[in-house]
Amino acid sequence: MMTDLRHIGSKPNRKVAPNRTKVRKEPIDLRKYLLPAIRYGSSAGLIILVGGLLAAAVKGLMQATPFPVQKVEVRGVQRLNREEIVALTGVEPGQNLLSLKLKTVGQQVARNPWVATVRVQRFFPGTVAVSITERKPVAVVNLGLLYYLDTTGEPFKPLSFGDALDLPVVTGLSEEGLAADPAGTRGALKTACELLAALQQHGSFILADVSEIHYDRAHGFTLFTTSGAVPIRIGTDDFSGKLARFARIYQTLMTQQPGLHYIDLDYNDRIVVKKS
């Protein structure tokens, strides 16, 4: 009998499991997480519910028309009339005062070129008040078409049949120039308004004595007198000072027509008179 000596002295072939630390698992308390979520969801749902109820209440109130429009008041009109403004508002008697969109009503009124500013208010139980400020024309500007020019230097309305022409005319500008150089053209129109304002302040030579105000980019403004169309060069600045000096000799110079070729005021300390 033979003995197998190959296993003598060798380690037995056994798998030994590694050492492990047993961790005790605590049970998860779901209430800790679910209760706040339930409370939050309930609050959000309540807010949505209340919001929906309020919206439905407002809608029902507006549909019930508890405050029908009874009248439209128009304030501040001089050139325009009440009927024109009321028609522009689009507001009809019996409309729901609460449902009126005042901003839209104001925008509709502002479409009239004579309207400079507009304010629309509602007063319970049934009044819509429209307060406007009208534009004031100070001249007619020739831009290819004739436009009224307001006190800010804005051409605001093309002249149509029947419009008054008893205003000085500003020339030398064009719609093409306005498109090519809007800032320069609008600046010239604003300066023309400053000149017009200065003309209204001097007694001997006044706005009524001016028939045309011509603008030239290089030389500034030239006035043409109503009597004799005498050109008076005045430049682009210090209008009050130049006109004050000219007012002292204006009446004397006008007696020398038709021998006057032009008058140049565009100096700081003198007046140049050119006779033909």
Residue 14's pLDDT is: 47
Give the position of tokens 């682009």: 236
How far apart, in whole angstroms, are the C-alpha atoms of residue 119 and residue 38?
Answer: 50
Do 248 and 254 touch, CB atoms closer than 8 A?
A: no
Residue 62 domain-assigned (yes or no):
no
Say if residue 142 is in the same domain as residue 119: no
How far apart, in whole angstroms, are the C-alpha atoms of residue 174 and residue 164?
Answer: 21
How far apart, in whole angstroms, are the C-alpha atoms of residue 128 and residue 120?
Answer: 7
In whole angstroms, how far apart are CA 232 and each of 138, 215, 236, 252?
A: 20, 12, 13, 15
**Which of 134, 156, 171 is the endpoint of a domain?**
134
Say if residue 220 is in the same domain as residue 120: no
Residue 205's pLDDT is: 79
How far apart, in whole angstroms, are the C-alpha atoms of residue 171 and residue 143?
Answer: 8
Q: What tens-digit pLDDT sequence spans the chain (276 residues)?
A: 444 444 444 444 444 444 454 545 556 555 555 556 556 555 655 677 666 667 665 565 555 568 999 999 999 999 999 999 999 999 999 999 999 999 999 999 999 999 999 999 999 999 999 999 999 999 999 999 999 999 999 999 999 988 988 899 999 999 999 999 999 999 999 999 999 999 988 667 778 889 999 999 999 999 999 888 999 999 999 999 999 999 888 888 888 888 889 999 998 888 999 987
Residue 248's pLDDT is: 87
Can you give the three-state secondary structure of 77-146, one letter per residue? Answer: CCCCCHHHHHHHHCCCCCCECCCCCHHHHHHHHCCCCCEEEEEEEEECCCEEEEEEEECCEEEEEECCCE
We report the CATH number of the domain holding residue 88 as: 3.10.20.310
Residue 118 domain-assigned (yes or no):
yes
Q: What is the three-class DSSP state of 265? A: coil
Neighbours of 61 (CB within 10 A): 14
Ramachandran sector of residue 57 (left: φ over 0; alpha: ψ -120 to 50; beta: rest): alpha
Say if residue 160 is in the same domain as residue 119: no
User: Residues with Cβ < 8 Å from 82, sequence gap 6 or more?
Assistant: 74
Residue 6's pLDDT is: 44
Residue 193's domain comprises 137-275
Say if residue 148 is in the same domain as residue 268: yes
Do 63 and 56 touch, CB atoms closer than 8 A?
A: no
Q: Is the pTM of this model over 0.75?
A: no
How far apart, in whole angstroms, are the C-alpha atoms of residue 20 and residue 40?
Answer: 43
